[in-house]
Amino acid sequence: MSKRLFAAIALVAASWAADSSVAQEADAAAGERLFRQRCGACHQIETARNGVGPHLQDVAGRAAGSVGGYNYSPALRASGITWTPETLETYLANPTAMVRGTRMVQRFNNADERAAIIRFLGIRQ
């Protein structure tokens, strides 16, 4: 076994022993990557800048349609939704079914990917 490989294994073993956050970190990294791939073309999260869609900084707990300077659909603005893991799950699975008239029309069909992205959005607040 190479020294470097041994060191890597020892490091992983040590961090597992210290706490079990390794899996959580891997999950957060996957969520971040998926966010960039699936949402990043339209949504910023590193900065509070609106693009095709509103920025998603601090989206967890935010009222739908409430980012200043973004031109929301009247439907989303009037929806009365607060963004929680549950409402995000429903919206991402089928936005137009939840909010008729919303301008975000993409459905995200992979439940595991949705869950990872939603956890990432929660972590980022």
User: How many Cα atoms within 13 Å fall on the side-chain side of residue 39?
Assistant: 24
Query: Do 78 and 65 meet the contact criterion of CB atoms below 8 Å apart?
Result: yes
Q: Per CB under 6 A, does 30 bind ligand HEC?
A: no
Minimum CB distance to ligand HEC, residue 34 (Å): 7
Residue matched to tokens 């999260």: 45
Site string for ligand HEC, 78-107 (x = CB under 6 A): -----x----x---x---------xxx-x-
Q: Which is nearer to ligand HEC, 21 or 106 (CB)?
A: 106
Distance separating alpha carbons of residues 44 and 55, to the nearest angstrom: 5
Minimum CB distance to ligand HEC, residue 60 (Å): 10
- Indicate which single residue of 8, 108, 110, 111 sits in contact with ligand HEC (rule: CB under 6 A): 108
Q: Would you mind telling me the total number of residues written for the chain in this entry?
A: 125
